[in-house]
Amino acid sequence: MNYGYDIDTINNISALLQKKQETLAVAESVTAGQLQMAFSLAEGATQIFQGGITAYNIGQKARHLLIDPVHAGNCNCVSDKVAGQMAVAVGKMFSADWGIAITGYASPVPEENIQELFADYAIYHRDQCIKSERISAPQLDVLTVRLHFTNTLLQKFYEACRQINI
């Protein structure tokens, strides 16, 4: 059972990382642990997946992922800078070669005037940014949006792994 995750991409990532003997760690907010779940399903997950952290608020992101709290406070913790800081920190926290992070909105936040659903993600390889961008999602239920972000980021990570010739 794949639970809606792109299992082929997950296993392709695992095979690439195992071949190079590299590992990954994940910091997430908007996906609420879905990336960690996805990587745990990989063939050989224990060989490539170091672990992850889900941090929802600015206090926990600043404490555990060392984000800039002033910047984060000005953007509700959703920006390419925040995602980058999360990715670097989680890579170091788990002694992983790759750090992947995502933060965004899986449902509208009317009090913040947020209607569109989007997330910023960053993929770092040993402190070097390989890819960072904003992705959007259709207005669907929260779980479907989280799964959309998860599968999109899995595909982006797979492309990034192939890009640097692993």
pLDDT in tens, the chain (166 residues): 678 999 999 999 999 999 999 999 999 999 999 999 999 999 999 999 999 999 999 999 999 999 999 999 999 999 999 999 999 999 999 999 999 999 999 999 999 899 999 999 999 999 899 999 999 999 999 999 999 999 999 999 999 999 876 4
The enclosing domain of 22 has a CATH number of 3.90.950.20
pTM: 0.96
**Helix (H, G, I), strand (E, B), or coil: what is residue 127?**
coil
Q: Residue 3: what pLDDT?
A: 84
Measure CA 31 to chain center.
8
Q: Output the six-digit token pair for 15.
A: 């095979």
Q: Output the six-digit token pair for 155.
A: 């595909």
Distance between CA atoms of residues 78 and 85, nearest Å:
11
Burial (CB count <10 Å: 0-12, 13-18, 19+), residue 138: exposed
Residue 131 is assigned to a structural domain of this protein: yes
Q: Residue 69: what pLDDT?
A: 97
**What are phi and psi for residue 90, nearest 5 degrees?**
-70, -35
Residue 134 is assigned to a structural domain of this protein: yes
Q: How many domains does the chain have?
A: 1
Cα–Cα nearest to 129, from 86, 166, 88, 92: 88
Q: Residue 165: what pLDDT?
A: 64
Distance between CA atoms of residues 14 and 8, nearest Å:
10
Residue 1 is assigned to a structural domain of this protein: no
Residue 103 is assigned to a structural domain of this protein: yes
Residue 69 is assigned to a structural domain of this protein: yes
